[in-house]
Amino acid sequence: MIREVIESDLQPLLNLYLYLHEKETPDPSNHLTQVWQEILRDENHHLIVCEEEGRIVSSCVCVVVPNLTRNVRPYALIENVVTHPAFRGRGLASACLECAIQIAREKDCYKIMLLTGAKDEATLNFY
């Protein structure tokens, strides 16, 4: 199931990020809670997840950025694309990206950008 996050998804999402580039999950703190609440409230911040077998196994972020150029049309940034290793190769990240693309289209974005600092060939070929 592809969907946007809900409040109870924080810890499962942080655990998934360990397969992205994080070395450990952040300690619980007021700052973490504030940032999470800010993301949940922000209508331009879309944190998309794929849930399988009752757990979050893939995700990406799509941020729609208001813009004064291009006939006052926004643009979208896609970031933090990750899939749990046990679930890779099944098109789950692609499904998350398709959801992000659909959101960008619905918001009338004139472009969508996906940037990566990844160096490995498999990731670059995916993008």
Q: What are the pLDDT digits (tens) for 37-84?
A: 999 999 999 999 999 989 999 999 999 999 999 999 999 999 999 999
Asked: is 2-126 a CATH 3.40.630.30 domain? The reply is: yes
pTM above 0.75, yes or no: yes
> Where are the domains positioned within the chain?
2-126
Higher per-residue confidence, 115 vs 14: 14
Which among 116, 53, 56, 126 is positioned nearest to 91, based on CA atoms?
126
Higher per-residue confidence, 12 vs 53: 12
Q: Which residues contact 51 (CB under 8 A, 6 or more apart)?
A: 1, 3, 57
Q: What share of the chain is helix, strand, coil (3-state, %, to 5)?
A: 40, 25, 35
Count CB neighbours of 50 within 10 A: 25
Instruction: Give the pLDDT of residue 127.
Output: 66
pLDDT in tens, 82-125: 999 999 999 999 999 999 999 999 999 999 999 777 777 777 67
Count CB neighbours of 113 within 10 A: 13
- Count of H helices and E strands in the chain? 4, 5
Count CB neighbours of 115 within 10 A: 9
